[in-house]
Amino acid sequence: MNSTNSDYQNINFLVKSFTDTTCEKDYTYVTIDGFKAFRFACPICSPDSKKRNASIFPKRKEDWKGEYPKKWFYLCKGQPTCACKGLHPVDRFISTYFQTQEKNSVTALH
């Protein structure tokens, strides 16, 4: 099984959950390296924005064995105070996103 395709499908499912479109072409693009990637409004700092100021994309990075597997990254160019401002591994973004969602749901209850 190709983990990159699986990663793409999982990330696509996540991105669909916080974009307001069902057409994949509205939030996908092809990177300069020829990989499929996603561009959308940052759900942490700009959840109601139409401006696509964040992206999730794969990039080949050298590992300790000297190989170049694809790794997924998150890049936010939104608010300076965003918890995910800048470039981060996609796992950090996902963790921060769900922590933010949890805080918001607890705040809404009080």
Whats the size of the chain, residue-wise? 110
Kindly report the pTM of this predicted structure: 0.84
Q: What is the pLDDT of residues 46-84, one digit of tens each?
A: 988 888 899 999 998 888 888 888 899 999 999 999 999
Closest CA to 80 of 42, 106, 45, 40: 45
Determine the structural domain holding residue 69 and report its residue range. 3-109
* Domain count along the chain: 1
